[in-house]
Amino acid sequence: MFSAKLIEILKQARQIVVLTGAGTSAESGVPTFRDAQTGLWAHYNPAELASPEAFKRNPKLVWDWYSWRRETVLAAQPNAGHYALVQMARHVPNFHLITQNVDGLHQRAGSEQIIELHGNITRIRCEHCSHTIDLTKQNLDSLTLSDTEPPRCASCNHYYRPDVVWFGENLPVQALQQAEQLAQSCDVFFSIGTSSQVYPAAALPLYANKAVVIEINREKTALTQQADFALQGASGEILPALVECVWG
Ligand code: BJW
Ligand code: ZN
């Protein structure tokens, strides 16, 4: 299933960096970003809801979209692809996981020291004073909920918003710098389940100029042509098979 050359490269690898995107969680039942528009939300364009302008225009609409997605995420379980990355980390001297995902499923699978580039949907933060609430630890019911607007911060009365990075907003500076440095120094760079359309994350494989770049995706993407190896298929199937083949 995998070429002997690929297996040898991975066996020799000293520093692996993995960048994941929404496709990694698809087999957990979490819709990918561009598919997050089913049912009630079919008429909305995700790219237009994930912006500060949308929240300003219609805070309750954006709040409700995220509440709906948060429920899906909290009910989902990590899949075989998430667990395979936990295994991979145990076999490689230097392993780093960078994710664009906001669902926290890598953490729940047991991956450690994850670099989150786009925040986390299970946290909310005050849009003004940044007071943050982790909704995996505290229930939303503890806030005053209204039918017409998002909950308001107890200390400054501004709205809470999801603690994620919207289009037009800067990524967390330290996380991005660390991700760029890791990409520059690694010998193998995986890009898994991402359409490679959203910057600056999509540029990370370009920083990995000393590395063998391996893509795992169901479809061809903007990166496929430049990748050294493009493994086409579901990450929940390919990753466990690859880890077993190389380190099993
Ligand atoms: C499977 C699978 C299976 C399915 N197995 N695979 C340079 C050039 C052009 C534009 C820009 C640029 N620099 C910045 C910009 C603007 C913008 C941008 O990139 N726009 C592009 C769309 C053109 N970037 C930004 O605004 C960023 N901020 C920034 O750069 O600030 C400075 C600045 C501002 C303004 C101008 C210039 C500079 C912020 C980006 C924040 C992204 N946030 C989101 C929302 C997070 C919260 C939420 O979830 O609601 O993050 S957008 C969305 O995209 C989300 C994702 O993390 C991110 C990436 O998506 P991903 O993961 O790739 O998912 P999909 O759905 O696109 O693809 C899924 C893939 O999985 C597909 O390929 C499937 O085939 C595959 N798949 N099942 C394997 N089982
Ligand atoms: Zn506040």
Mind listing the pLDDT tens digit for each residue in 40-93?
666 788 888 999 999 999 999 999 999 999 999 999 999 999 999 999 999 999
Domain 36-75+120-164 CATH (choose: 3.30.1600.10, 3.40.50.10320, 3.40.710.10, 3.40.50.300): 3.30.1600.10
CA atoms within 13 A on the CB side of 127: 18
Cα of 34 vs centre of ligand 1, distance in Å, is: 9
Interval 15-41 mean pLDDT: 87
Residue positions counted in the chain: 248
User: Could you tell me if the CB of 20 is within 6 A of ligand 1?
Assistant: no
- 187-215 tens-digit pLDDT: 999 999 999 999 999 999 999 999 999 99
Residue 245: what pLDDT?
98
Q: What is the pTM of this model?
A: 0.97
Which of 19, 24, 33 most suits a substitution to test ligand 1, by most atoms within 8 Å of the C-beta?
33
Closest-CA residue, ligand 1 atom 53, reads: 33
* Residue 143 reports pLDDT greater than 90: no
Which of 69, 173, 198 most suits a substitution to test ligand 1, by most atoms within 8 Å of the C-beta?
198
Interval 7-15 mean pLDDT: 98
Q: Could you tell me the pLDDT band of residue 37, with boundaries at 50, 70 and 90?
A: low
Residues in Cβ contact with 133 at an 8 Å cutoff, skipping those fewer than 6 apart: 123, 124, 125, 143, 160
What span, in angstroms and rounded, lies between the C-alpha atoms of 78 and 75? 10
Residue 23's H or E segment, with its range, is: none
CB 150 within 8 A of CB 141: no
User: Could you tell me if the CB of 54 is within 6 A of ligand 1?
Assistant: no
Q: Give buried/exposed letters for 12-34 (b at 16+ CB in 10 A, else e).
A: ebebbbbbbbbbbbbbbebbbbe
Q: Which two tokens stand for residue 127?
A: 């849009």
Interval 11-38 mean pLDDT: 91
Rounded to a whole number of angstroms, the CA Rg of the chain reads 19
Residues 227, 231, 237, 239: is their CA dihedral positive or negative? negative
Domain boundaries, the chain: 1-30+78-118+171-248, 36-75+120-164
Share of the chain above pLDDT 90, in %: 87
User: Could you tell me if the CB of 194 is within 6 A of ligand 1?
Assistant: yes
Closest-CA residue, ligand 1 atom 70, reads: 194
Task: Name the residues annotated as catalytic.
Answer: 118
Share of the chain above pLDDT 70, in %: 97
* Residue 148 reports pLDDT greater than 80: yes
- Domain covering 1-30+78-118+171-248 assigned CATH 3.40.50.1220 in the classification: yes
